[in-house]
Structure 1
Amino acid sequence: MPCQVSWSEAESLLSSAVKSGATTHTMFHSVTALNNLGKPVPKDVLNLLTEALKTEDSPFAYANVFYTASLLTGDLKKVHDLIEDIVAQADEINEEYLQFESGLRPTASVIYSSHLLSVVANLKPAIADDKIIKFANYLLARKHTTSIIDASLVICAVHSIATSKFYTPIAVALTSSVSVSDKSPVISVKVVDLLGGAVEKLTVVAETARHITDNAVILSKKTLTPSKTDVTQHELDLYQLKPAIGFYRIVLSATSAREDVKLLGNQDAEVKVKVITRMAIKNVEVLIQDREQGTVLKSHKLVQPNKVTLEADYHQKFVVKFSIVDSATDKFLHAHQTFVRLLNQKTNHEVIYVAEEDGQETYKFDLNIGLKGKDFNGLSGRYLVDLIVGDAIIENPLSWTLADVKLTFSDDATPPASDPYLYSAKPEIKHMFREPEKRPPSTVSAFFTGLVLLPVLILLVLWIMIGVNVSNFPLSLFALMFHIGIGAIFVLYGLYFLRLNMFETLKYLSIIGLPTFICGHRTLSSIAARRK
């Protein structure tokens, strides 16, 4: 026989919580519980919710109201109109995101609850299309979260936007490689809804493809070809247009053949790609020149991967010249990274220089050996000379050892000593106290000590002469311990002056000071009590 449970008390308690002065949070949970139990909800809930918003103006309060209202029937337009009010409080970030001040949770809660209310009220959310896109951007940017609550809110909010019957936001992403070349001529973009699902009967058009550097347009109004294997993929053969190398910004738009589908985020979507090429190194020449006259003493023309062996001293210059060309068109290329590295074969010390353009479509590296000795620590010896060339638009970067040169500097020097603690623990740092200053002879110290103690002796003599009244001295253990403690502290100060350091003195003072304080307090308390 099934268990019989009486919910009358629970229903009464939940219904009584829906009242004037109750918070939106309380009414949200009460109405939700009553709805789940299949019990009637108080009739004036909507008025109570709007009344509560007069004292609560947070995004969470509005989310509670929207969610609670979505569980009710009747005219919900008054509450639905409040969506526009709370959305106006959202903060815009970089003209790309919208969020509420407290972050992800209130943002996701407002978006989710407002869409639930819109479905029940059969009214389009009072949120502008561009704001829907910015809210969606923010939610998708925060999808990698470590909190289960945050993750569930993101899923609910994104799902409510993606499945809305009033619009269909879409996302456009580049799925092919960002690099376009003769080996990879086609770019592929994926157009999906916010949940990654396919959007039926889409036409994707490349409005423009513009070179970022010189702003040249290489195509306009080009329809992408739908993939035969994936309905979300759309392809464009960019390389057939024979674009110049460099970076391109492609602006895409999408339209649906279905009239009942309103797309959001389907205009001015951008993807960036780069057209790359293979380079060739030509006219490579290694020279030894006279430092003063510039006369060429030795000249070697090289072809990769050959290497030449040379010698040069501080009266000469070591020069490397080369050109970089596009292997397909044989046109000169400007590379961002053109380095010449000299590596000492004995110590592995390396020095790297930049090869500069000389204005004649040639790169040149000029090493004045006599002036650059400091870069090499004055260490003569054999050096490997490597040519390093690379760029974001170059498909085949280069590292070529083109020379083995013996350099002789004017001031030969030993290599700098290696740090013995570079890869091991350094010695422990220990605090060292300053050495005590030299003390005067003991007779001088004793004499001045006597002078310091003389006033005490005079004080005792005067007390005896005038007759000191010690009748009020409390004869108790605490009084005796207090005076012994005071005396011990004076002795400790003397030892600090003679032999103890500060840390040792503080340690002993803490031991003596605590009982002295307690005994002194008890002694003074007893004297005060006796005088009353």
Structure 2
Amino acid sequence: MAPPGSSTVFLLALTIIASTWALTPTHYLTKHDVERLKASLDRPFTNLESAFYSIVGLSSLGAQVPDAKKACTYIRSNLDPSNVDSLFYAAQASQALSGCEISISNETKDLLLAAVSEDSSVTQIYHAVAALSGFGLPLASQEALSALTARLSKEETVLARVWSTFLESCSLFSKRTVQALQTASHLSQQADLRSIVEEIEDLVARLDELGGVYLQFEEGLETTALFVAATYKLMDHVGTEPSIKEDQVIQLMNAIFSKKNFESLSEAFSVASAAAVLSHNRYHMPVVVVPEGSASDTHEQAILRLQVTNVLSQPLTQATVKLEHAKSVASRATVLQKTSFTPVG
């Protein structure tokens, strides 16, 4: 609120104290954007991979596919028990559906365990580990970690050799390392995950800054969003703050949420995944502050209402908003300072 006679148009400086350290991005998802993102994910299934993107993507936004029972039937009928990728999509999708249990044979279990090997690609190791986790099957996490780090080292060596000829090797490295982060989040906290966690700092160093506003990988939105999702999921898992600076978080968010229309189902899934972890994590909570309507003016006082939300435009459960100072646009004079906002509703 402002004192009697002050202008209703202000230049504001705000301090926000939330349950976690607060950041303010330029780009975020409005309620309309969230609904449009949900619509991008809510598509008819064309294969098990598309079902995974749709079901898990919607779940990360707190939504469900229209017919969960039908979706579960689709997963069961399209599952190939001899294919690691198929098992990954089925395990993760069924886990996001209520009451969708899938039984697998001992032969399929052995297939997944055998795929957790340094002779497999990083993608195959990730898919096998996540499938075992999704099906609730036991896994020797330290052995899986050893296979993952060995394979990652092999692929890094190959890509380093390719670098002199093909510039895309850097992009492939980023994708593989993001998958390593995703894999580690499924491993036991008793395993020594430090070597994988340290990869986050290397990935941050590979990000490209655009105009001081955006930060993203060369290969674009999808890998950038999956990196953010994987990083915060892993850091919540191990209980360590990610090695990302505050301004870098803002720039990453601006890059991810500046795009409102998506070229593919996987791209929409990646944005939903990033939005989910940035709305609920222990360390960095981007906060969006926007005026609600126009400032109302009476003979007694001017009233300014603000919406304070997370990046999904959801209200914060706990937040204190303090006005540092407000200036009249007309006179540039300070008309209010050091005033706390009162929660409404």
TM beyond 0.5: yes
Q: Kindly state the Cα deviation for residue 18 of structure 1 after the two structures are TM-superposed.
A: 2.2
- Is 1:18–1:26's contact at 8 Å kept on the other side of the alignment? yes
2:323 to 205, 216, 228: 205
Query: TM-score if structure 2 supplies the norm length?
Result: 0.57
Contact 1:104-1:150 within 8 A present in 2 as well = yes
The Cα offsets for residues 335-356 of structure 1, whole Å up to 9 and x where unpaired, read as: xxxxxxxxxxxxxxxxxxxxxx
Letter in 2 for 1:60: K
8 Å contact from structure 2 (residues 289, 309) kept in 1: yes
- Are the aligned partners of 1:28 and 1:68 in contact in 2 as well (CA < 8 Å)? yes
Q: Distance in 2 between matches of 1:6 and 1:100?
A: 38
Distance 1:217 1:23, change over 3 A: farther
- Deviation for aligned residue 1:62: 1.6
Letter in 2 for 1:72: L
Q: Which residue of 1 aligns with 2:337?
A: 221
Shift of 1:146: 5.2
Number of equivalences: 223
Q: Does structure 1 retain, via aligned residues, the 8 Å contact 2:325–2:334?
A: no
| Rg comparison, structure with higher value | 1
Helix, strand or coil: the match of 1:173?
strand
**Contact conserved, 2:327 with 2:335, CA < 8 A, in 1?**
yes
- The answer to whether residue 24 in structure 2 is matched with residue 24 in structure 1 is no
User: CA separation in 1, counterparts of 2:260 and 2:275?
Assistant: 10
CA distance in 1 between counterparts of 2:261 and 2:303 reads: 31
The DSSP-based 3-state class of the residue aligned with 1:53 is helix
What whole-Å deviation, never above 9, does each CA across 1:53-76 have from its counterpart, x for those lacking one?
332452221221111111111222
Listed as ranges, the matches of 1:18-57 within 5 Å are: 18-42=116-140, 43-54=142-153, 55-56=155-156
Which of 176, 181, 185 matches 1:70?
185
- Shift of residue 29 of structure 1? 0.8
Tell whether the 8 Å contact from 2:117 to 2:148 is kept in structure 1 after alignment.
no
Pair 1:85–1:52, CA change in 2 (3 A): same
The answer for unaligned runs of 5 or more in structure 1 is 231-532
Amino acid in the other structure paired with 1:59:
S
RMSD value, Cα: 3.0
Preserved CA contact (<8 Å) 1:109 1:153: yes
For 1:19-418, list aligned pairs within 5 A.
19-42=117-140, 43-54=142-153, 55-56=155-156, 58-73=173-188, 74-145=191-262, 147-177=264-294, 186-199=303-316, 200-209=318-327, 211=329, 216-219=332-335, 221-223=337-339, 225-226=341-342, 228=344, 230=345
Q: 1:48 to 1:5 in 2, by over 3 A?
A: closer
Larger strand percent: 1
Distance 1:76 1:145, change over 3 A: same
CA contact (8 A) 1:168 1:193 kept: yes
Deviation at 1:82, TM superposition (A): 1.4
Gaps spanning 5+ residues in structure 2: where?
Answer: 1-101, 157-169
Q: Distance in 1 between matches of 2:130 and 2:319?
A: 40
Q: Is the 8 A contact 1:143 1:151 kept in 2?
A: no
| Distance in 1 separating the partners of 2:342 and 2:322 | 8
Structure 1 residues 202 and 14 mapped into 2: Cα distance closer, same or farther (>3 Å)? same
Give the conservation status (yes or no) of the 8 Å contact 1:24–1:49: yes
Could you tell me how far apart the structure 1 residues matched to 2:247 and 2:192 are? 28
Which of the pair is proportionally richer in helix?
Answer: 2
* Cα displacement (A) at 1:92: 1.5
Task: Give the C-alpha shift of residue 149 in structure 1.
Answer: 2.3
Question: 2:125 corresponds to which letter in structure 1?
Answer: M
Q: CA deviation at 1:208?
A: 4.4
Q: Which residue type is aligned with residue 154 of structure 1? A: V
8 Å Cα contact 2:214/2:255 also seen in 1:
yes
Q: Percent identity over the alignment?
A: 25
